[in-house]
Structure 1
Amino acid sequence: MAIIKATKTPARSAPISETSILGWLQKNLFSSAFNTVLTLFTAYIIYLAVNGVYIWGFVDATFVAETRRECYDNSLTGACWAGVIDWLDNIFYGRYPREELWRINFGGILLAFWMAPLWIARAKGKVLVGASVVLFYPFLAGYLFSGGDKGLFMQLMISGAIVAFAINMANTIAGIIKQQSIAQFVIKSLGQTNATDKTQRNLLIALVAVGFAAAYLWQSSWTVEFVTWTKWGGLFLTLVISGIGIASAMPGGIILALGRRSKLPVLRVLSTGFIEIFRSVPLITVLFMATTMFPLFMPEGFVLNKLVQVIIAVVLFNAC
């Protein structure tokens, strides 16, 4: 005779052997004799590697030394961190003037704050944040890094960058605290909630114009020392080239991709040929051609900035 229960039997929890770390190890690493031997052998190899790096990098290493010979005298088998510490500024900044390093650091911090709203869920206007970074930040950062006199166009772009950064930060703060955009917050604060859309738009444009004028007057009163590009170097220069190269290569990559799918045979062949040629060679070859071979084909007296040549080469390479 069958017994029918009115209540459902509660589900039992999974065995500890199936959910614990020991169960996972037994199932994946020690499931058989061969797997056990292979796991132990791999663990021994990892131990030798980690122990060797630890001894080389810490136990036998030299952290304080005046000369390279002193490093060798202290230890022939350990790392000479004293040289790395002494050359740390050169590794990061190259030959950039030491008293002007704040400009590079400020530019990096500014970019981090500028792009921070892209990773904040409550931030408003993320599309405008990305667009302002692409349109204005390169000019502001370029002047910070190179310095010198500012022309009218550069002054306008720097002023626009200051205003765009201020709006982005205010927009982010308003989104986090008030959960609304800075435009909505300003309209509400000024008591123009019931005004027409045209009135609200004109009011916001007027405020932006006043901010732009204030930024223009402020930035026109200061300059920074000119630093030639030949003194740029290290990780800083690498990030500049890669950042410009990746950002500038996107439009070219889209054009080449569309050309490759074009129904026009000439356009399709040219796009495909360009892509395959650049893909078939390493980047170092492209850089060598751009800096060494390209000037040989130019008219006599034609001089192009080598940094520009490298950036163009990186852009073309990344576009493929």
Structure 2
Amino acid sequence: MNDTTTSTNLAYVRSAMLDPKPAPTSSSSVIGWVQANLLATPRDILLTILGVLLLFWMLPGIIDWLFINAVWTGSDRSVCATVAQGGIQPDGWSGACWAFVGDRIEQFMFGRYPLDERWRPMLVMLVFAALLVPMLIPKAPAKGLNALVLFVIFPIAAYFLLHGDVFGLERVETPLWGGLMVTLILSFVGIAVSLPIGILLALGRRSHLPVIRMLCVGFIEIIRGVPLISVLFMANVMLPLFLPTGWTIDNFLRALVGVALFASAYMAEVVRGGLQAIPKGQSEGADSLGLSYWQKIRLIIMPQALKLVIPGIVNTFIGLFKDTSLVSIIGMFDLLGIVRLNFTDTTWITPVTPLTGLIFAGVIFWIFCFGMSRYSAFMERHLDTGHTR
């Protein structure tokens, strides 16, 4: 019996080892990424082949129009009716008219800001970049001081530097501001104001005090129920009605208020989603430690909630950055508005001028939005504790 059992057990024992297999291809390499994302299944292979064929069909014409047959230099619209290599195309116009962009680039950046004073917005942009970069680096020291300077001191100093009428600087009225400068100012102020206000609104909506909860719910639902254009019109027309007689608010400041309040309502709902995702045990644990309400929110609840909703927060920021183009409705000209304004300039009226200008504006918007998206992905990886994979 024992011999039979032993022989039966030996039948399941491996008598020879399998040949070693090659190491798996690293998914972090280019070949590994292609195999995992483009060639994993027969359907993926078919779609990849169709996509490559579509690119080969479209790219030559796009590259030819954007670069090869484009016009890069010139002083008026006559150059944009001539192909770069010479001659006229059958339809009578050339490729992209980058000469138009080159001739108007400073106006696209600063609007109608006086030429002799454009060193002021350039200085503001340099200081802004110098303060923003350390703020975005997680390991950079003195984050508190950096935040204080960037979000409190810098906006005040930038306003006086741009507006002038102090320290012997020439006064530059805000209707002369425009271009990318206005887009960045509106976006920065909207982002810097909407996040803290959105957090307070989200906390107020979850408050146990009926009055605070009703006020926050009413504000959020009213603002979210109307388009941004309506908010801008109300800020531009109705806001002065609430001021004492003889008081007035600059149109640019009205737009800032409208954009910031609009973004705050959407930010509140994003933050509230993060708060609802926090287990009740976190709050109970903080209470058991004797923490006050604001200590619990600041140290325990809010850091976890904000980490969970980073994609939603950045998505709101990106939407806000693009929505700044709507301020042209109330007579202000951001990047897109100033580009469109130049379409009516008789010096550069050609069939390709509008498309070239819109492509330029679109590329600028894409660069900033893509940068925010990539930084969002970096922060998600940096703050990932292994629970959100």
TM-score, length basis structure 1: 0.65
Quick check: 1:62 aligned with 2:71?
Answer: yes
Question: Which residue of 89, 103, 119 corresponds with 2:120?
Answer: 103
Partner of 2:309: none
* RMSD of Structure 2 on Structure 1 (CA): 3.4
Distance 1:268 1:54, change over 3 A: same
How much has 1:89 moved relative to structure 2? 0.6
Partner of 1:40: 49
Q: Which deviates more, 97-106 or 49-58?
A: 49-58
How much has 1:100 moved relative to structure 2? 1.3
Question: Which residue of 213, 228, 232 corresponds with 1:287?
Answer: 232
Partner of 2:197: 252
Segments of 5+ residues of structure 1 without an aligned counterpart are 5-10, 151-222
Distance 1:52 1:293, change over 3 A: farther
Q: Which deviates more, 15-24 or 137-146?
A: 15-24
CA displacement 1:223-252 (0-9 Å, x = unmatched): 322211111100001111221222123332
Partner of 1:273: 218
CA displacement 1:37-90 (0-9 Å, x = unmatched): 322111122333332321111122111223224313446251111111111011
Segments of 5+ residues of structure 2 without an aligned counterpart are 1-9, 84-88, 266-389
Give the alignment of 1:99-138 within 5 angstroms.
99-118=116-135, 123-138=140-155
SS at the partner of 2:166? Answer: coil
Partner of 1:94: 111
CA displacement 1:258-305 (0-9 Å, x = unmatched): 221112223222211211222233323322332246557888876431
Partner of 1:142: 159
Q: 1: distance between equivalents of 2:24 and 2:134?
A: 45
- Aligned residue type for 2:135: L
CA contact (8 A) 2:207 2:213 kept: yes
Q: 1: distance between equivalents of 2:137 and 2:243?
A: 49
Quick check: 1:319 aligned with 2:264?
Answer: yes
Q: 2: distance between equivalents of 1:121 and 1:250?
A: 19
Question: Which residue of 187, 197, 200 corresponds with 1:242?
Answer: 187
Partner of 2:99: 82
Partner of 1:220: none
Partner of 1:233: 178
Give the alignment of 1:164-183 within 5 angstroms.
none
Q: 1: distance between equivalents of 2:70 and 2:161?
A: 38
Q: Which deviates more, 82-91 or 109-118?
A: 109-118
Q: 2: distance between equivalents of 1:262 and 1:61?
A: 60
Q: 2: distance between equivalents of 1:121 and 1:22?
A: 32
The total of aligned residue pairs comes to: 244
Percent identity reads 38
Partner of 2:59: 50
SS at the partner of 1:148? Answer: coil
Q: 1: distance between equivalents of 2:245 and 2:148?
A: 40
Distance 1:25 1:312, change over 3 A: closer
Q: 2: distance between equivalents of 1:117 and 1:36?
A: 44
Distance 1:13 1:291, change over 3 A: same
- Aligned residue type for 1:142: Y
Q: 1: distance between equivalents of 2:24 and 2:98?
A: 51
Distance 1:90 1:132, change over 3 A: same
- Aligned residue type for 1:55: D
Distance 1:30 1:287, change over 3 A: same
Q: 1: distance between equivalents of 2:27 and 2:253?
A: 60
- Aligned residue type for 1:57: L
Q: Which deviates more, 78-87 or 238-247?
A: 238-247
- Aligned residue type for 2:112: R
TM-score, length basis structure 2: 0.54
Q: 1: distance between equivalents of 2:26 and 2:165?
A: 69
- Aligned residue type for 2:121: I
Higher relative contact order at CA 8 Å, sep ≥6: structure 1 or structure 2? 2
Q: 2: distance between equivalents of 1:25 and 1:143?
A: 53
Q: 2: distance between equivalents of 1:235 and 1:69?
A: 27
